[in-house]
Structure 1
Amino acid sequence: MPSFDTLVAYAERLLKAAGLDGDKPTVTARLLVTADAMGHTTHGLAQLPDYIEDILAGKMTSVGEPDVVADKPAAVVWDGRRLPGVWLTDKAVRLAAARAKTTGICAVTIRRSHHIACLATFLPAATEQGLMVIVASSDPSDAHVAPFGGTRAVFTPDPLAVGIPTEGDPILIDISASITTAGMSARLRREGGSFPGEWALDADGRPSRDPNVLVGERKGTLLPAGGVDHGHKGYGLALMVEAITQGLCGYGRADGEADWGASVFVQVFDPALFGGLAAFTRQTEWVAEACRTNPPVDPARPVRLPGAAAMRGMRDAMANGLTPRPGLLEALEPWAAKLGITPLRNA
């Protein structure tokens, strides 16, 4: 089983050989491996072959910094220039965190970022400092989710993540406006699986468990969170995410974007500049404990907080290593050969 650091170093070598400059390979590699350790395996190292392909094809900008479109003390807009989205978003969280310690709140929005992978991985950079953070993204070049009651896709899954400090481990929420993700749908198609429930609509608007209805000449759609009964909730969330990711940066679907990427929203709050950090965590820890000790429906499955499994996964990966999903290292071997990197193999 490779160690956490071994996987990071391998991914870093591949990204550096592909052409990423500065700290971009290091930051991107670390957060992709972190996603796997947290259990978000569709949005971790599984993204690496596509990232390398886009770097080599010139579809991911490999050098330089984002362009500053607007810069106020608590509101920043970047043009990401299709730079690595994982690196850009981590950079945005760290900038917003630094400024929030003076302004109380700071938001950074990014237009024309490349794909940003797993949103939960960005949260600890803020929560470890006692800060609350929100990260959201959408891809204006693609659509998988129809508005509630419709049959034509308008939105991507539009994920939203929130990191909340407590007196112990932080709460790490990572959800989406759709009932599942495009990445999970693609994995199920590759593996011949089905959705656990009727999570999609076919092209005629009929509920389906078959992920194959999302592809082909007549494409179906993913249902918003809430499904066929209460999908208006996910629909409303998607409208908000689209507004804060694309509306606030002033660029999105209305501009006809055609390349895979992301519009990104980051906001950080410093509780110390509100009611105080101790007062904040006193409240969040009370709620956290009330959830953890809540009588479960199934005694074998106690109530857990969002992020609890991710934190356990991270600690285990750091201590004992991490086994990549079957086929992942094999999928990277052709790229390693192309880039002159010795391939990493499972023991």
Structure 2
Amino acid sequence: MTQPPRHSAASLIDFAQQLLVAARMPADKAAAVADILVEGDLQGHTTHGLAQLPGYLKEIESGSMRVEGDPEVVNDAPAALTWDGRRLPGPWLVLQAMAAATERARTLGTGTVVIRRSHHIASLASYHARAAREGLVLLLACSDPNNASVAPFGGLDPVFTPNPISAGWPTGAAPVVVDISTSATTNGLTNRVHQEKGRLPAPWVIDGHGQPSDDPAVLFADPKGTILPLGGLDSGHKGYGLSLLVEALTGGLTGHGRADAREGWGATVFLQVIDPARFAGLAAFERQTGAVVDLCHASRPARTGQAVRLPGEKGDALAREQREQGVVLHASILPALKPWAEKLDVALPG
């Protein structure tokens, strides 16, 4: 069987950066966006890596993603900062926010930055290893008040986006990285499976009459279906509650969300950095988190040959392998980028 082609991570980052610069994005912003997108593919989050780049380029071309300037400061308190992102590139904004929050956390123990009117921020899991390497805890969540595809538990009409919430922290070994949607699946996955005329692994959606289904086509039918909250029909009240929490942390704290007029594809972001050194100390933190990791690894596997893993371990191992052996892109990614490469006169990666 023919093996899929592999690409060096560096070549993919360079390719993405060249496309963004050719589309008029300043080089520093383009480097940040390219790095975060490729990190998503390295970790296996193929719907939120370079798969997002054609959409980003289209948004730049239309003017819906701004590329020049900095975020506007809405409010500035010792441990809390509120920005208007002015629809600037989301990955760049998040990295800037991490730097600002880290500076405050080093002094105050914690620093929080919330961002209204950011553009899309890509895979949340792409940010956490950076913070963990510095001995920091990072909490990150986002919503998109411009769209709705997830109904509240017990309802048929969509209110939320998948509203991901994530966290990462050091353990003395590989960091734990938890990145979950508060819905049963994501828009990226349902759109891809629908385009491929496939089925979801389980009934993660409901049709417009409230019947559960594994066919993403119901999301595009009339009446439209919706994605179920995390937990599905049985315990979706839990995902519903988490969706409400994300809305409070994002739209609530930024003062901008579903009560306002829609502006287009984007994100409202909550980001908090915690410095364990300002609490019981990093060594004490890693002693405790490392002990929990060891206990989980030592737990007898429920299925023979399938040892217990920690959240983020699979992505971390895959990223290390692909950095060494090359990145396998989803088959749809380069064909979607080829027209942009031709239009912007950028060579496709070999």
TM-score under structure 1 length normalisation: 0.98
Distance 1:204 1:282 in 2: 51
1:281 corresponds to which of 280, 286, 295: 286
* Mapped contact 2:142–2:270 kept (Cα < 8 A): yes
1:21 corresponds to which of 26, 29, 32: 26
TM-score under structure 2 length normalisation: 0.97
Return the offset for 1:258. Answer: 3.5
Residue 310 (structure 2) pairs with residue 310 (structure 1): no
Pairing 1:97-136 to 2, within 5 Å after superposition:
97-136=102-141
1:145 corresponds to which of 146, 150, 153: 150
Task: Name the Cα RMSD after superposition.
Answer: 0.9
Return the offset for 1:75. Answer: 0.3
Distance 2:296 2:25 in 1: 43
Q: For structure 1, list consecutive stretches of 5 or more residues without a partner in the other structure.
A: none
- Counterpart code for 2:124: L
* Mapped contact 1:146–1:221 kept (Cα < 8 A): yes
Return the offset for 1:327. Answer: 2.8
* Mapped contact 1:138–1:241 kept (Cα < 8 A): yes
* Mapped contact 2:131–2:138 kept (Cα < 8 A): yes
Distance 2:255 2:332 in 1: 40
Residue 159 (structure 2) pairs with residue 154 (structure 1): yes
Which residue pairs with 1:223 in the alignment? 228
1:338 corresponds to which of 316, 337, 343: 343
Distance 2:348 2:287 in 1: 48
Return the offset for 1:161. Answer: 0.9
Distance 1:17 1:320 in 2: 29
Pairing 1:282-297 to 2, within 5 Å after superposition:
282-297=287-302
- Counterpart code for 1:226: G
Query: Which range is displaced more, 221-230 or 312-321?
Result: 312-321
Distance 1:292 1:71 in 2: 43
Say which SS state the counterpart of residue 174 (structure 1) adopts.
strand
Which residue pairs with 2:95 in the alignment? 90
Return the offset for 1:324. Answer: 1.2
- Counterpart code for 1:121: S
Return the offset for 1:278. Answer: 0.8
Percent of residue pairs identical: 49
Query: Which range is displaced more, 8-17 or 309-318?
Result: 309-318
Distance 2:166 2:156 in 1: 27
- Counterpart code for 2:119: H
Say which SS state the counterpart of residue 228 (structure 1) adopts.
helix
Say which SS state the counterpart of residue 110 (structure 1) adopts.
strand
Q: For structure 2, list consecutive stretches of 5 or more residues without a partner in the other structure.
A: 1-5
* Mapped contact 1:93–1:125 kept (Cα < 8 A): no
